[in-house]
């Protein structure tokens, strides 16, 4: 692992989160939810890279969290709590749904995802 590689992931993750906030504010809900998923994916990969020295070639938020919770057990609560697990899987599905499927995301669901990411996911993951 190089510090530069890890830092690129962290900076890019934060940029995706800022972009999601902007896209939500201008009504681009499909792209906003995609950017939220990218933030989650990259910040998990960043944490794995820093803590373990590598990360797997997967985009699954659930799988990345399972791996990271082996190093930081308190993160397993995100997988055990029903509401958090559902939000994680919805974000995971958004990777494909927002890019390739004729699925349109609504403002309400993107706002709920944003709230989850900012109030639950981010504090838990970035808190160690």
pLDDT in tens, 31-49: 999 999 999 999 999 999 9
Q: What is the pLDDT of residues 51-72, one digit of tens each?
A: 999 999 999 999 999 999 999 9
Phi–psi pair at 53, nearest 5 degrees? 100, -5
CA 20, CA 66: separation in Å to the nearest integer? 25
Contacts made by residues 47-54, CB under 8 angstroms, sequence distance 24+: 47/72, 47/125, 47/128, 49/1, 49/5, 49/6, 49/9, 50/1, 50/6, 53/1, 54/1
Q: Please indicate, yes or no, whether the overall pTM of this predicted structure exceeds 0.85.
A: yes
What is the pLDDT of the chain when averaged over all its residues?
A: 95
Tokens of 81: 């709590």
CA 62, 36, 38 angle in degrees (round to 5)?
A: 65
Q: Does the pLDDT at position 1 exceed 70?
A: no
CA 45, CA 68: separation in Å to the nearest integer? 9
Residue span of the structural domain in which 17 resides: 3-126
Max Cα-Cα span within the chain: 39
CATH classification of the domain holding 30: 1.20.120.330
What total of structural domains would you count in the chain? 1
């Amino acid at each position: 692992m190089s510090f530069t590689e890890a830092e690129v992931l962290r900076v890019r993750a934060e940029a995706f989160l800022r972009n999601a906030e902007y896209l939500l504010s201008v009504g681009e809900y499909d792209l906003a939810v995609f950017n939220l998923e990218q933030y989650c994916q990259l910040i998990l990969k960043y944490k794995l890279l820093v803590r373990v020295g590598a990360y797997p070639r997967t985009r699954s938020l659930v799988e990345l969290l399972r791996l990271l919770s082996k190093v930081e057990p308190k993160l397993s609560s995100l997988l055990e709590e029903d509401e958090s697990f559902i939000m994680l899987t919805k974000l995971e599905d958004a990777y494909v749904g927002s890019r390739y499927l004729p699925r349109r995301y609504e403002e309400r669901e993107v706002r709920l995802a944003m709230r989850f990411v900012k109030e639950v996911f981010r504090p838990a993951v970035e808190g160690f």
